[in-house]
Amino acid sequence: MDAGPTVMTDLLVVCNTPSENLLNLKNAVIRGAQSVTDSSFRIDYPDPLQVVPQDVIDAKGIVIGTSENFGYMSGLIKDFFERIYYPCLELTQAKPVSVYVKGGLDGEGARTSIERILNGLRWKPVQPTLVMTGQYKSEFAEQCEALGAQIAAGLELEIY
């Protein structure tokens, strides 16, 4: 039996949020995206463990957010990439993507590991990876809001 038409997601937000601060950053991305789009723009932000390859295939663009853990991306984001990599490899080339990293130190290990995977997937970063380091500051949420607004506006205007 046919499940019916697939509902396209305009923006898929895949973020690890083990703390209130990281949840604030994800919510800022969503708020930013909503601030520049109309009500028909569909934003999906499932738990990273619930994301399946078809979610990625159906999304017009993606935001990935992670904490820096032991100099690397979070385990949930690594798990996300491991589950979607090969099923999406040939079907999602040039997928617009934005990334943010909340680093305790410099965030560079998480940034470079994610960028290597994005390069392998041949996704299209639409802005430089946002790396925020040190103690949580309110401007981190402002930066994530701007990140969400930028990718959403580009997707809505179909410039990516």
Cα-Cα-Cα-Cα torsion 106, 25, 113, 91, nearest 10 degrees, comes to -160
Q: What is the pLDDT of residues 40-89, one digit of tens each?
A: 999 999 999 999 999 999 999 999 999 999 999 999 999 999 999 999 99
Q: Read off the pTM.
A: 0.93
7 or 49, which is more confident: 49
Q: What is the pLDDT of residue 6?
A: 54
On the CB side of 59, CA atoms within 13 Å amount to 28
Q: What is the mean pLDDT of the chain?
A: 94
Q: What is the pLDDT of residues 8-44, one digit of tens each?
A: 799 999 999 999 999 999 999 999 999 999 999 999 9
